[in-house]
Amino acid sequence: MPSAWLGMLTSSPVKPVPAAFEFRLSEVGAISTTDLDSKASAALSHSQAENKQLAAAVWFVAPQATEFAGNLEGKTSAPLIDFDKLALSASSVEKFLKCGHNFFTTKVLGFSDMEQPDSIEELRAIDFGKAVHAAFERLLKEHAALTPDFGQPYSDEAIAKFRELFEEECDLLVARGQAGWRPSFESRKRGFLNLLNDYFKLEHQARTEVFVSATGMKEVFKAMSDENFLRPQEAEFEFDKTGAGLLKVPVKPEGYPQETLVFKGIIDRVDVSENREHVGVIDFKTGSKTYFDKSTAVQDLLYEYAIRRNLNFLGVTKVSSRYLFLSKTNKDSGLVDLRGDRDPGVFLHPADGGLTGPEYNEALAANKAAAEAELLTKLANLVVASHNGVFLTHDTEKAAKSFAFCPTCKKLGQKTITRLSWTAHPGSQQSQDEGEEGQE
């Protein structure tokens, strides 16, 4: 959705951000009102758009890196984001890295890109994921006696209790009307439960093994040394409400002033070793690991940064932050560790290639520095965008696909074309309204 016309083309409330609208119209194409059915031939180059709605629609015909795609460089009062007032999350930064324009319209302007249907016909992935998260949380908090010892797998009794808790959470989805079409929901639930033992094997792997290398498409893990074995300790851990409170990350991009980014967030589960020097962070995912994009991943980096500065984990020297995918098939499920540049020797026994002495200490420092450097590099991109006023769609130079990557544009693109039709043919909206009334 063109950022410039967001407030005009939607009825949704928009937060006032005057700086974002301090720009003038650039020359854009106009729409031929006699050729609305053929968007491909509707643009007239180098002519002034007759009104803002037409100009917005033209952008959808032939997208370019203009103000309609979130490029407000030189047309705004910088910075566009007041980082002292905007509390960020890992997911919001990942949204920016995937599509700057979607981040700008939702997090800065305050527009929602979520559909609000009267009824849910399909089970939303986010709702199914919440049921899984809730079951793991309840297993740890309500049935602490079933928590395994360091490096030990969950017992059959514990897995059976998880099954019971998960089914209760699924019943709540049905009661709240969030399950969608019942046969499809029951099939998804049944498929998850059929793989439950495999999921818990992966969970055990996350507490006892460390990623060492990748061979082709296969990741290779090795057993940790006994002192690095983990035991579940915290579920749904809110790092911004414990320890020192909101996490503050100072970021200083080259050539730009330093900004302090403030974060809040919830870690799905935190595991600890017996000596409390090793902390494991697990993020449960119910999607497929196949399409996971490391280039936009921030969650594991930010959570490691937060753990190292949280007063509940004083003395931690190493953090293993992984994603545990509990997907529809074993092929798409698995333990994913994105920190391929981390030296695994700090987690291994010397007989398996583990480090000792000065090399061990040097690797600890290098692992920490590498993770924080990658996090700060990604956060710097957001700071630079705020000062430059550039929040582009993901693939603007590819006209045919440019706004297909932006949830905001996908949601409102059709609405723009529809309103364009009303502008060109004033009687069309009245006729449509009358037709809808006749169907009631």
pLDDT, tens digit (0-9, with 9 covering 90-100), for 282-305: 999 998 998 788 889 999 999 999
pLDDT the model gives residue 180? 81
CA 363 from centre of chain: 30
Instruction: Return mean pLDDT, the chain.
Output: 78
pLDDT score, position 413: 55
SS3 of 321, please? strand
CA distance 417 to 35: 13
pLDDT at 398 over 80: no
Over the stretch 328-359, which tens digit does the pLDDT of each residue have?
999 999 999 998 888 999 999 999 999 999 99
Q: With 50 as the cut, is the pLDDT of residue 152 above it?
A: yes
Task: Say how far apart CA 38 and CA 281 lie, in whole Å.
Answer: 52
Give mean pLDDT, residues 79-103: 89
347: left (phi over 0), alpha (psi -120 to 50) or beta: alpha
pLDDT at 267 over 90: yes
For residues 321 and 135, give the distance between their C-alpha atoms in angstroms, rounded to a whole number: 21
Residue 179 has pLDDT above 80, yes or no: yes
Q: How many other CB atoms are found less than 10 A from the CB of residue 289?
A: 18
pLDDT per residue over 36-59, tens digit each? 333 333 333 334 434 555 666 666
Q: Does the pLDDT at position 425 exceed 60?
A: no
Q: Is the pTM of this model over 0.75?
A: yes
Residue-wise pLDDT tens digits, 193-222: 999 999 999 999 999 999 998 776 678 899
Task: Name the token pair of 335.
Answer: 């333990």
Q: What are phi and psi of 352, to 5 degrees?
A: -105, 15
CA distance 391 to 103: 8
Residue 159: the pLDDT is 98
Closest CA to 165 of 147, 190, 142, 149: 142
List pLDDT tens digits, range 108-125. Answer: 877 776 655 444 555 677
Contact 344, 219 (CB under 8 A): no
Q: Residue 170, class by beta-carbon neighbours within 10 Å (0-12 exposed, 13-18 middle, 19+ buried)?
A: buried
CA distance from start to end of the chain: 31
Q: What are phi and psi of 346, to 5 degrees?
A: -75, -15
Distance between CA 266 and CA 283 in Å, rounded? 10
- Distance between CA atoms of residues 304 and 318, nearest Å: 9
